[in-house]
Amino acid sequence: MDFFEDPDSRRPGSDLVMQQLPKKIDTELTSDGIEITEAWGIFYREEWNWRRIWGILGLAFFPPSLLFGVLWAILRKDIQGAFGVASWWMTGATILLGVIGSYVQ
């Protein structure tokens, strides 16, 4: 997983990863009536990086909505309306995260 997430950490010409992979030579993989076939190989773990998703959503929604609310309040002299619109912006982030979370399963 380390080399997959950070491929630049591998030195050029290094075959350490290839040496560590299990190999099955001169035989075929057959199920022999078994529903699930187990064989030598690699299991890739695929999952959402929730830390990165929260970071992106936090940076994409919170600072701009706060800036919008402050600027609207200063320029239009309307604090309630400014942060009413900014709260809709943050609600959009929550809905977006809910949609992403529902597609994970």
pLDDT in tens, 68-85: 899 999 999 999 998 898
Please, are residues 41 and 29 in contact by the beta-carbon 8 Å criterion?
Answer: no
Q: Which is higher by pLDDT, 47 or 81?
A: 81
Q: Which DSSP state fits 32?
A: T
CA distances from 24 to 29, 39, 44 (A): 9, 8, 18
Find the Cα–Cα–Cα–Cα dihedral 8, 14, 19, 25, rounded to 10°.
100
**Does the predicted TM-score (pTM) go above 0.75?**
no
